[in-house]
Structure 1
Amino acid sequence: MTEPLTPSSHPVEVELAIDQVTIVNPAEATATVRCMLGPVRCGARFDRIRDSTEAIDLELTQILAYHRPVEELDPVHTALVTLRGTGVQLLTSATPSSRWQAIRGTNPRP
């Protein structure tokens, strides 16, 4: 017999909207983001760009809010984040004529 699933046993879907991105190297980027769905925690994995078929596999390794490291970012708050993995070259900054790019994924299990 299997145990019933509790809310904490389901991966939590998260989303970050990217304002500005800097590609540090082929496997790392820093970005100014707004949390759209969350809270987003360090260790979150992002596997898709909203409205795109391109595959990504990015881990959120650092969140700096008001120049201080934090473990999570609540919805509507902004921060500077570090993302590492495959697909950083697909990330783009917002422009006056384009909307913010959004990446979606899941938080790590507690």
Structure 2
Amino acid sequence: MNDAPACPLIDVAATYMPRLSEFSFEPGLVAAVDQHAAAVCDALLPARRGPEGRTVRREELADYVLGFTDWLSEAEWTEPAGHDFATLRLTAVCWLIREHDLLDA
């Protein structure tokens, strides 16, 4: 029996991955999500810049998501109908999950 908690990326992807389909309808959303994805990468990989690019690791992104969602819970955040900082950040996490194929890891 496996008592390990489920990877938080699975829940985030299930909830926010569908927002990536909005890219074709909202061009500004692409830019906003790209900026948030860059900010997440900066938080995860501040010293790993260079010609080899950045490699986002599942464990590091999962830790980031746990911290971010804990902060949202403490702030009693509720998801709005549109896009706020938190939804953009979580959508950016989904973009990173997809781009780095982190659910199949």
Q: Looking at both structures, which has the greater relative contact order when contacts are Cα pairs under 8 Å and sequence separation is at least 6? A: 2
TM-score, normalising length from structure 1? Answer: 0.24
TM-score, normalising length from structure 2? Answer: 0.24
The structure richer in strand per residue is 1
